[in-house]
Amino acid sequence: MNKKKFLPFCLVIAAVVVGCQSQNKTQTTDNPLLLAYETPFQVPPFDKIKVSHYRPAFEEALKQHNSEIDSIINNPEEPTFANTIVALENAGGLLSQIGSVFSAVNGANTTDSMQALDKELAPMLSAHNDDIFLNDKLFARVKSVYEKRTSLSLDAQDAILLNESYKGFVRAGANLSDTNKEKLKKINAELSVLGKQFGQNNLAETNAYSLVVDKEADLAGLPEGVKQAAADEAKQKGQEGKWVFTLKNPSVMPFLQYASNRELREKIWNAYQMRGNNGNDFDNKEVVKKIVNLRLEKAKLLGYPSHAAYVLEESMAENPNNVYALLNKIWTPALAKAKVEAAEIDKEIAADKGDFKLAPYDWRYYQEKIRKAKFALNEDEIKPYFSLSAVREGAFATANKLYGLTFIALNNVPTYHPEVEVYEVKDKDGSHLGLLYADFFPRDSKRSGAWMTSFRAQGMKDGKRVAPVISIVCNFTKPIGDQPALLTFDEASTLFHEFGHALHGLLSNVRYRSLAGTAVSRDFVELPSQVMENWAADPEVLKSYAKHYQTKEAIPDSLIAKMQKAGTFGQGFATVEYVAASFLDMAYHARTSPIANGVEAVEADEMKKIGLIDAIIPRYRTTYFQHIFSGGYSAGYYSYIWAEVLDSDAFAAFKEKSLYDEGTAASFRKNILEKGRTGNPAELYRTFRGKDPDPIYLMKKRGLN
């Protein structure tokens, strides 16, 4: 599967933005965000929502939420689980609903006006959050219920909600002095704006650069499909007759992989790896420094030695030492393998009569040449079998065989962009489970990467399940002319990955929305997504969904055999660049003293410390490391590999019986996918597997043992 397994595009933000429709919305307004959704399945009325609707909608939602909080605080009755904890859980439904719509659209189809509003709203929403969690009277009621917990006869989910509610207040600073609460409020407000600024700078830098090629000779080595996509991009940008390559992954990565022109590879590579580090209006160096130092200040204010210690307390890893133990265990064999790969590339360069030292912009190009020579494997030979429609239907079919789910395309549901697809998801008994939105192609209004979010979280109301509305967003290779979108195998795996997150949200079956679906620790949330990638690559599954887009013939056994033989090829490089980025994340967030100098020195020192070779850079350099500075993965980028230990072991549970073993699938659904945050992740996994996960499956898959 080469590098995809550690290409973690995914930024799961559902736990932050999900919500359910409020029943207190006024009916006297023409603002569609404040009216009952009179749409199929009560989805957001995207066709009626304008940017101008958001601010007044947020203002009304904040007013309603404040009123709901005041009702809890001023309740003359003694605090109980129902009138305090459940009431708090149910408050803010309108705010969550509006926030989920705004956040999702702003990430996938933003405008300058939305970005400006996002930065304006950030400190307002931060202050609102602080006003709740730092309210002494409200915390006193929560604490009162918490202290009586052993005498309340709560069931398991009630007990978890109570514990999480109390812990949420404490971790938000409820026990701080008044002086320190004011300090914390200022820190939170500033961090909220800086995170938005980082993401917007990253998008601006990505969109600002284009490599314009006007000589066809400079396209030597590029497949026809890549050249045609660049010609289409040029036409869209008013440069017909030329070829335009951008810094979006479907454009820049094929160029680095295939283009023979080393000078142009270097040019686009430098633009790619210097994003946010160009000394212009979108430079992120000072933004990062402020974010890191403020996070540390906040952690110490709350009684933790570092931001990582604060974050990891709520994870399976528990503390920075356990994260470093895993990273170091993998780093040593991965770096050794990468050095072997580098030596092999050096030989290829020499054979190519090159008189230069291997550079980062050479790696993918020569690795592809070696792969072709070693395995007779050409990606252009693979892509015709991975049309977007075939891969999507393959993911749907896998879910059907595992869990009995069916996906029905809808054309009567409003969407935020014409390219968005919508599916009704039904359970094996035909009952409605939820809706799935899918947005697959890159555009200037969409941030890079791939992620899952939700417009409505699963929960319970009046004893009935509230069906979730889930969305997956990607940046895949676009259709070219009459040719459908043909995906690389990495992209196909990404689709299965995000679909796994979607299943986590869709199959959730808990009482409280704050505990539903993907509202779990970062190093557990990637298990449901990454385990699905195993089916994407399995020969039996490939034969069922990888069909040639023209002949409709299944992918031949000979091609599958080539893919399997090349399975661990390039894994030294892939693992090293991923783990290097994980170390970089920890270098910023496990630190116990603020950054005194520049962030460039932090990155350089950390890469020197771990011994990263010059021909490889971290998968994400500091100034465009969106996962950790604006994506919710601070001190958590390691989680992809932590979860891969789980997913490799989990897939082994199926392989020990059969790919679609009914009992194993039922157990995975019941103990993992349905549970949300209603149980300890390690215990949930042990209940499913009958034992702790064995890292040997990961090491074998990576070829690192």
Q: Which of 205, 498, 533, 644 is catalytic?
A: 498
Residue 264 lies in a domain: yes
Residue 242 lies in a domain: yes
Note the pLDDT of residue 304.
98
The phi, psi pair for 437, rounded to 5°, reads -95, 145
The pLDDT confidence band at residue 296, using thresholds 50, 70 and 90, is very high
Q: How far apart are CA 168 and CA 695, in angstroms?
A: 32
Residue 257 lies in a domain: yes
Model confidence at 254: pLDDT above 60: yes
Contacts of 341 (CB under 8 A, 6+ apart): 367, 570, 572, 573
For residue 318, is it left (φ>0), alpha (ψ between -120 and 50) or beta? left
Residue 556 carries which side chain, given as an amino acid letter?
A: P
Q: What is the number of residues in the chain? A: 705
Q: How far apart are CA 656 and CA 676, in angstroms?
A: 26
Model confidence at 25: pLDDT above 60: no
pLDDT in tens, 135-160: 999 999 999 999 999 999 999 999 99
Residue 91 lies in a domain: no
Mean pLDDT, residues 17-34: 55
pLDDT in tens, 180-191: 999 999 999 999
Note the pLDDT of residue 379.
83
Cα separations (Å) of 599 from 259, 585, 590, 643?
32, 12, 15, 29
Q: How far apart are CA 498 and CA 129, in angstroms?
A: 29
Residue 266 lies in a domain: yes
**Helices 262-273 and 360-375, packing angle to 10 deg:** 120
SS3 597: coil
Q: Are 547 and 385 in contact (CB under 8 A)?
A: yes
State both tokens at 4: 């995809």
**Helices 571-589 and 639-655, packing angle to 10 deg:** 130
Residue 428 lies in a domain: no
Q: How far apart are CA 33 and CA 30, in angstroms?
A: 9
Mean pLDDT, residues 291-302: 98
State both tokens at 318: 């528990």
Note the pLDDT of residue 10.
40
State both tokens at 135: 């309210």
The pLDDT confidence band at residue 29, using thresholds 50, 70 and 90, is confident
What residue numbers bound the domain in which 248 lies? 209-273
Q: How many helices and strands (H and E) does the chain possess?
A: 28, 9
Model confidence at 363: pLDDT above 60: yes
Active site residue 266: no
**Helices 112-133 and 93-108, packing angle to 10 deg:** 150
pLDDT in tens, 365-411: 999 999 999 999 988 899 999 999 999 999 999 999 999 999 999 99
Note the pLDDT of residue 151.
95
> How many CB atoms are located within 10 Å of the residue 439 CB?
22
For residue 213, is it left (φ>0), alpha (ψ between -120 and 50) or beta? beta
Cα separations (Å) of 5 from 55, 151, 441, 453, 664?
40, 47, 21, 21, 23
Note the pLDDT of residue 378.
84
Model confidence at 347: pLDDT above 90: yes
Residue 340 lies in a domain: no
Closest Cα partner for 166 from 11, 701, 158? 158
The pLDDT confidence band at residue 428, using thresholds 50, 70 and 90, is very high
What is the number of domains present in the chain? 1
Percentage of the chain surpassing pLDDT 70?
96
Q: How far apart are CA 505 and CA 494, in angstroms?
A: 17
Q: Are 155 and 115 in contact (CB under 8 A)?
A: no
Residue 219 lies in a domain: yes
CA angle 698, 630, 604 (to 5 degrees): 70
Mean pLDDT, residues 249-265: 97
Instruction: Report the sign of the C-alpha dihedral through residues 596, 598, 600, 604, in that order.
Output: negative
The pLDDT confidence band at residue 518, using thresholds 50, 70 and 90, is very high
Note the pLDDT of residue 704.
82
Closest Cα partner for 455 from 420, 500, 419? 420
Model confidence at 12: pLDDT above 90: no
